[in-house]
Structure 1
């Protein structure tokens, strides 16, 4: 979606050009009247809005207009450290009582309760709060009150949290982070921004004095730099009264320090950065242009909005050129993109990226630079402009439709951005008029002038990111600068824009089939159609999510039906089918054809099933059905695109050679499945066996028999309008009359106790732990409920014992996978990173917590917290298409009813039930322990 449209909030109106032209450039954009904004006497700003999506829920945020940029050198990392301390004790909620209370109302830490710190902003949120009692609102507002001025910063809690943040630093120390931090001096031109990475200096984190943290806290956490944002299903007057009552007593800063505004200096000569890492894979070159933003007050004007719109327009046009460049002929970039994005609060940048082929950095950069110069010399073509103008006008209409489903949490960002940067929160009516007016009155000449301003000779950044290997060399700074400059002197022809002549998907309507039988299913609330070609269509219609229809068609078989020697071609068939188009249209052609429509459909070939899944707006449902029909009857197997994908796969495999993490993953994958040939990783040798014809054949075979498919449609569905579409485009699909099942190739988890501690040459002093427990277990609704509750409880225990008590990990994930095919089984996996010297101790705790649950079960309060959380989640989920797609797929594929009596089943669980479940799973004694360690 075009960037400027992402943050617009539009009504479903039709505005004529004459009405739209009444908007002046210097006019201030009016505030959204649905948002109440106020300021207390102590300086605290508040934003309040009513929203019923979801019902009976509320979003509570406190935003601090400060971050890592306010740190002194001896405080580097303390803005983020303070964020952690907010969950470790406040005036009214000592120690962990805040999180304990929230858990008791079904609000979970890490999922619904969280925070973030950036260079300029710190924000805390308590989300999905059940608004069932006034006292809950009072209590949550009191938490925001304490986060404003009354975080305890207890000495013992500080000491405990040092280890947690050390492990967060360790977890984040990955190639992408290291590559980025090497480039910070270039990206931010050696300003203070380059010296603040938020996580901070680990030596400071481990050794600072409490008073140093308090100095930062008391200097910068104050009402005049804070805003409270509350959005949800409540009366706005009531909420405003409560905010005034609870937050007005916050003390006003007596001698507030002026907040310094930092900026990134301009540069006349190009700045160059070359960033390499031993664990990096692909090589990327980036050409960037920094752009100034207007002042906070000027951002409120129509003129500022138009500038942003034109830059977005240009970036979208340029992106299409770069994508086409990468897809045609034999370029030096494997793929490319253009983004118009934020750099700092006062600067944006145009970000032109190319993935480099065969380590040809200069050649790849030259291709990007040439396309910049082509725009500067010749501008965009009339056809490009007219096409994009029409597309963006369609996108306005699209966004108006999406506005109907905007969630409370999605409304928060506009308020946060308004408070921290001065960006407007537009009136819906005004914003639509403005957008339509600007787009309709924009000229090609004006756009080309803006492009010249964007791609000036100042504020250019050139960066290269890639692997550090002995056999790979990089050009120096002077060579890269010369490449960009030399592009200016080349004799360039105007761009040739390819226009699709005939964009019709269907030129001849298929011979319709019919619905042979209709049946109601009262249990699931569905309508079941059996079609003349044997296909089944299941319809779950409900109006909660307006205008959107989801669809998933599935059939049994997948790659399990292939002999082992054809698995690589099966792998490619799945990869390629997700990227191909239909008829003579490429995937990018389809995106162009469907601009302004809400539509997506993707075929996939899994291990045991093939699927066609996607969604559409109601008005676009026929287009969705046409694409389903064509993906079965006329998929576009393009030889050139196939060759590009093969080249990409081989390049990726080459880049992974010698990478410790990749080798480790490959090793443990083999161990997990007893080295079963169907679970081994792709290799260059296997890739060389893939052929175009075989890949095409496998796809065609998997989707040849529509009579084997069941299609599930959920959402805002009108049966009378759906019926002729189903008869025309699904009942007409070909069938072979042969029902195919998946094949059980005896792929199973390894049994018994397996321990693999593998040492590799690692860049980071880090131990990555994965413990996998497997067991035979009936695939049932009851066991899925038990498994969810058990994992919730186990994860919470690890957060206390591993994270809080030992400081041994930043986070611990506990996930269960229940499998129905090829056999009923469950896998429960525990994953986290820790310090190598702590690995053995952490592994002991992993097992100890499980042993305790097997022996004693959970406490009543542990189980009650899980029950409240999942029952609250269930009430929210049952109004979503995603929930019904998953639930109905389970029901019609495996005969499992996860819907009926869910709340009762969850509420009636006892600690004894959890203990028995744990005993059943872990009593089978199947445990795989994998640890990746640095070589000593």
Structure 2
């Protein structure tokens, strides 16, 4: 997460990730091979489905985005729910052991084997364990026969040939325990407590995939083998291959590789998960943790009723989803007021495995106003169930839903192979038919006349009737007699009458005329890069790269001013501006109103304060490109400067800060980012005094000069014609008064210094669990003025990363993952660094520093092999090759290329530089910069041990 993104942190995605495992859809029909076998929905005809005699399922899809790559997946329909009490954590542990030796691949050889094929451990080579699924993922940068053969070979080794060497198990324990330690957050603890409350007496709360420390420390080989032989069986498995492949050839390979896999006749069946109470009474739960957000949930939960995935079941589910969306929209309006106790809130419905059907509202509130938040949720939920929704509210959601379907259909031809492979197996695991986007749009249009307000009201209310509400409050506040206290707040609110909602009616966007359209004064082409460069008469500059990488998608970035370098009256005004500016809306529309006004439009409104520019950015479609430019130009010329945007930020800031200080990695973002720049207040996260010191006038004074007159540079990449760009930009930014020909460089603001080297590490404290610690080493390097040098540092970092993984993870078992990055600034002269950060136990901090120093010294002494360089370089080259077919990469490369024309040459030399960097250059760089006496070190320890 970027430092600026912290100022726009939203809570619901964090909570959704924690709840994901607890809110899975129903599994596939017990007797059906595929969900489409028992459905009237047509499966995507481009996908080839099959099943071997041993029961193994497979799906194959030819796809050319990106070109010449392939994604291979193998999943099993069982996860941690299959564990016995003395196996808790084994399913996930086995996932790790898959990389630690099999019959035909020695321990320590699998990852290097894949790296030599251009796969990077983590991004391209990964695995996951959930409650009811284990999966293995390989994204091949080359879809040649050798790479695919290797991928299928490794999947077969994983499925049947793992050896579970006891010594390897013992070596991996530290890694597993490190992962448990790293994931032990307040949100995870809340999620577990919530499951115990919502699904009491069932197996799910007892089977967190990470397991228990006691079992992880002691479990022996026989318990691994027991799970492996019972659940890694072909009848539970599925193999998916998507990419630049010949389906006939892939099908034959799958038969050859997996055909002799014997299916055991007595493999263990699915476990008994228990039962959900049919008529559970009104209940209240409470969870207290000093570091948790204040989270209130209310749910209606009933035993799950299985239903096949059909056209009619999807229609009914969509009706309820429209109700969820409308209630969520109402709650967002309350949040946007800036005076609400709510920080975020949303309604949803889901199925937890085969156990429970749930309707729910989840809200995040300020801690001292939790009772007000409970009251707001109770009354808005009751308002919806008693009075339903309005036609205007439904029309807004219908417009958004249809636009989403239309975009999916229009963009289907260039879907990413990795995403498609995951969607195919996920559909099988969720009991869903993998259909085409076009068919989804056709079904919606055919049933549009049935989506009435009455139908939506009825379907949505049905989720909440017949089941008593279950309330659960998590907070850092201590509440005496919480069950009675929380219940009393709910009941007191329920005794108050609520009024029906008001129909707000339709609104139209007020910004469509910015004056006479500007004309292009200068046009040039950069043929080798496929660019068109335009400059309008008022000075607005445009770089356009028209591509066919993504059908019907256009990526836009508008940059102006100097961002962080701009003068400011008070500290932290830049950090708050990133969040407050768009949240304050426009002169004619509040931020809340904009969502209604722009319903059904594919537009975005993202604003950020970068190191040396202010930036608007969005993804849109060719059809809505003109509206997107209208929106950007409106914010440029008539920002709303409403207080509610600042009020929202001030309400969120303490909770963001609480989250940051609850873990070592949060401390990195909150404090270390500033310390690495010798206390520069433009970085890190602002403290309470700094936030309180920023008012709307300060934000306006910070942004106004650049908004009014700074040069504007627009970068556009995607599926759009030059004519459409000229028309839309000419009518908006081209119509503005003449912009300044140049802008101050603010040289005095470019002075950032790396901190003085430390003899002993600086000690910082976090508020999380007492066994979480982190050791960090930063070596000062150089700026980005010489691209080749920056790329050599990136390659050195990649070699260092290999050594860190082999030493700290594989050999020592100190950590789940060592963090490693290099930074070279193109804004601050002479500023850059290489960083290694390691999450470890307290007792391993000193040994970790010693190991890092040994590895750095070895690099500086020339201990870099050609094989290590190959394994580091090839994934980088493969990533670069893919990036040349990626709109997002081009947008980043081309941004500010008018003010920094050297960026075009950087693109041209990118692949060559990485390909040509010799070993000797890496050794010289390591010897010069990886010296312990120049490093700055910070150890992050738990406050509980202070």
Q: After TM superposition, is the score higher than 0.5?
A: yes
Q: Does 1:213 align with 2:214?
A: no
Map residues 36-55 of structure 1 onto 2, 5 A cutoff: 36-55=48-67
Q: Does 1:831 align with 2:831?
A: no
Give 3-state SS (helix, strand or coil) of 2:516's partner.
Answer: coil
The one-character-per-residue Cα deviations of 1:312-366 (angstroms, maximum 9, x if unpaired) are: 1111011011112233484432332223345334534333122223523233112
Q: Does 1:519 align with 2:524?
A: yes
Alpha-carbon distance between aligned partners in 2 of 1:72 and 1:501, rounded to the nearest angstrom: 58
Aligned pair in 2 of structure 1 residues 199, 327: CA closer, same or farther (>3 Å)? same
Structure 1: any 5+ residue segments left out of the alignment? 4-25
Query: What corresponds to 1:789 in structure 2?
Result: 795
Alpha-carbon distance between aligned partners in 1 of 2:681 and 2:391, rounded to the nearest angstrom: 55
Query: What corresponds to 2:537 in structure 1?
Result: 532
Aligned pair in 2 of structure 1 residues 477, 926: CA closer, same or farther (>3 Å)? same
RMSD: 2.7
Give 3-state SS (helix, strand or coil) of 2:435's partner.
Answer: coil
Alpha-carbon distance between aligned partners in 2 of 1:428 and 1:609, rounded to the nearest angstrom: 38
Deviation at 1:924, TM superposition (A): 9.5
Q: Does 1:253 align with 2:253?
A: no
Deviation at 1:386, TM superposition (A): 3.4
Q: Is the 8 A contact 2:405 2:440 kept in 1?
A: no
Q: Is the 8 A contact 1:232 1:408 kept in 2?
A: yes
Query: What corresponds to 1:716 in structure 2?
Result: 719
Map residues 65-104 of structure 1 onto 2, 5 A cutoff: 65-104=77-116
Residues 870-879 or 353-362, more deviating? 353-362
Deviation at 1:931, TM superposition (A): 0.6
Query: What corresponds to 2:205 in structure 1?
Result: 194
1:691 aligns with one of 677, 695, 703: 695
Q: Is the 8 A contact 1:299 1:305 kept in 2?
A: no
Aligned pair in 2 of structure 1 residues 464, 880: CA closer, same or farther (>3 Å)? same
Alpha-carbon distance between aligned partners in 2 of 1:256 and 1:293, rounded to the nearest angstrom: 26
Query: What corresponds to 1:922 in structure 2?
Result: 930
Give 3-state SS (helix, strand or coil) of 2:583's partner.
Answer: coil
Aligned pair in 2 of structure 1 residues 662, 170: CA closer, same or farther (>3 Å)? closer
Q: Is the 8 A contact 2:605 2:616 kept in 1?
A: yes
Q: Does 1:632 align with 2:640?
A: no
Aligned pair in 2 of structure 1 residues 654, 161: CA closer, same or farther (>3 Å)? closer
Map residues 425-444 of structure 1 onto 2, 5 A cutoff: 425-428=434-437, 430-444=439-453
Map residues 267-666 of structure 1 onto 2, 5 A cutoff: 267-280=279-292, 282-290=293-301, 293-295=304-306, 298-328=307-337, 330-357=339-366, 359-428=368-437, 430-458=439-467, 460-467=469-476, 472-473=478-479, 476-506=482-512, 508-563=513-568, 565-649=569-653
The one-character-per-residue Cα deviations of 1:463-500 (angstroms, maximum 9, x if unpaired) are: 112215xxx43662133334444554432221113234
Q: Is the 8 A contact 1:279 1:763 kept in 2?
A: no
The one-character-per-residue Cα deviations of 1:73-100 (angstroms, maximum 9, x if unpaired) are: 0111111111111111112222122222
Aligned pair in 2 of structure 1 residues 291, 543: CA closer, same or farther (>3 Å)? farther
Deviation at 1:199, TM superposition (A): 0.7
Deviation at 1:854, TM superposition (A): 1.4
Give 3-state SS (helix, strand or coil) of 1:753's partner.
Answer: coil
Alpha-carbon distance between aligned partners in 1 of 2:844 and 2:748, rounded to the nearest angstrom: 41
Q: Is the 8 A contact 2:541 2:712 kept in 1?
A: yes
Aligned pair in 2 of structure 1 residues 919, 178: CA closer, same or farther (>3 Å)? same
The one-character-per-residue Cα deviations of 1:153-189 (angstroms, maximum 9, x if unpaired) are: 1111111111110111111112222222233311322
Aligned pair in 2 of structure 1 residues 548, 172: CA closer, same or farther (>3 Å)? same
Q: How many equivalent residue pairs?
A: 903
Residues 349-358 or 203-212, more deviating? 349-358
Aligned pair in 2 of structure 1 residues 901, 684: CA closer, same or farther (>3 Å)? closer
Q: Does 1:730 align with 2:733?
A: yes
Structure 2: any 5+ residue segments left out of the alignment? 1-11, 14-37
Deviation at 1:881, TM superposition (A): 1.6
Aligned pair in 2 of structure 1 residues 345, 162: CA closer, same or farther (>3 Å)? same
Aligned pair in 2 of structure 1 residues 787, 658: CA closer, same or farther (>3 Å)? closer
Alpha-carbon distance between aligned partners in 2 of 1:544 and 1:390, rounded to the nearest angstrom: 27
Residues 342-351 or 905-914, more deviating? 342-351
Aligned pair in 2 of structure 1 residues 667, 101: CA closer, same or farther (>3 Å)? closer
TM-score (norm 2): 0.90
Residues 779-788 or 58-67, more deviating? 779-788
Query: What corresponds to 1:870 in structure 2?
Result: 876
Alpha-carbon distance between aligned partners in 1 of 2:869 and 2:608, rounded to the nearest angstrom: 38
Q: Is the 8 A contact 2:516 2:731 kept in 1?
A: yes
Alpha-carbon distance between aligned partners in 1 of 2:784 and 2:658, rounded to the nearest angstrom: 42
Deviation at 1:772, TM superposition (A): 1.2
The one-character-per-residue Cα deviations of 1:637-685 (angstroms, maximum 9, x if unpaired) are: 2233333433443675689899998778665455433334555752332
Alpha-carbon distance between aligned partners in 2 of 1:258 and 1:605, rounded to the nearest angstrom: 55
Deviation at 1:747, TM superposition (A): 2.1
Aligned pair in 2 of structure 1 residues 491, 127: CA closer, same or farther (>3 Å)? same
Deviation at 1:106, TM superposition (A): 0.2
The one-character-per-residue Cα deviations of 1:779-831 (angstroms, maximum 9, x if unpaired) are: 23212321221111111111110001000000011111110112133211111
Alpha-carbon distance between aligned partners in 1 of 2:662 and 2:231, rounded to the nearest angstrom: 47
Deviation at 1:616, TM superposition (A): 1.6
Query: What corresponds to 2:3 in structure 1?
Result: none
